[in-house]
Amino acid sequence: MPFDKKTYEQLFRECITDKRIKKSQELFKIKLFLQKGENSLLIAKSMKEKKPSKYESAKIYLDYWAITISYYSMLYAAKAAILSKGYEVSDHDAAQIALGHLLVPDGLEKEDLEILNQAHKIFEEEYIHYFEDAKKESHIVRYSAIKSYTKRRLDEIFENARKFVAKITLMLQ
């Protein structure tokens, strides 16, 4: 969905009502989710770079898993960031909605962070697009018939996941 702060706010309220997003004080999970995100990214990199032997799955299947694991690295990092704001999510779409509502600052918040020399804490809407794109591609590779990916597209999804996880890790430090 195109990014619109007001739409994300409305969807967030609906998710609260539907109990897809709930308040949580289980802050110990933040570190665990970050570790899962960072380690999943390492696994995705390994899958992406692996050259299969003649006894292993074809490269296309390794690429499918590299995309899926890249997306999950983002999901785990997102769960950490959402939890840092006092909430937990129960599904993938709720995670995207919570990210958009809780992490992307409005204009005034953005200006305040820049004035305070904390621009590194600004979660731009482009990260929401990275998440949405990886979520869509991960769904396609898991549930559709064979689709091949160019190295460029696989690298793009992985690089976006790397930036996403790095940004959230930086914000939460």
Residue written as tokens 């004080």?
25
Q: Which amino acid is at 103?
A: L
| Contact by Cβ (8 Å): 75, 92 | yes
Give bridge partners of residue 84 from the DSSP assignment.
none
| Contact by Cβ (8 Å): 87, 97 | no
Domain boundaries, the chain: 5-172
- Distance between CA atoms of 83 and 66, rounded to whole angstroms? 26
8-26 residue pLDDT tens: 999 999 999 999 999 999 9
Give 116's DSSP letter: T
**Reduced to 3 states, what is the DSSP secondary structure of residue 144?**
coil
- Distance between CA atoms of 19 and 17, rounded to whole angstroms? 5
Count how many residues are written for the chain: 173
Mean pLDDT of the chain: 89
Fold annotation for 5-172: Four Helix Bundle (Hemerythrin (Met), subunit A) (1.20.120)
- Distance between CA atoms of 23 and 93, rounded to whole angstroms? 17
* Claim: this prediction has a pTM higher than 0.85: yes
136-169 residue pLDDT tens: 999 988 888 766 778 899 999 999 999 999 999 9
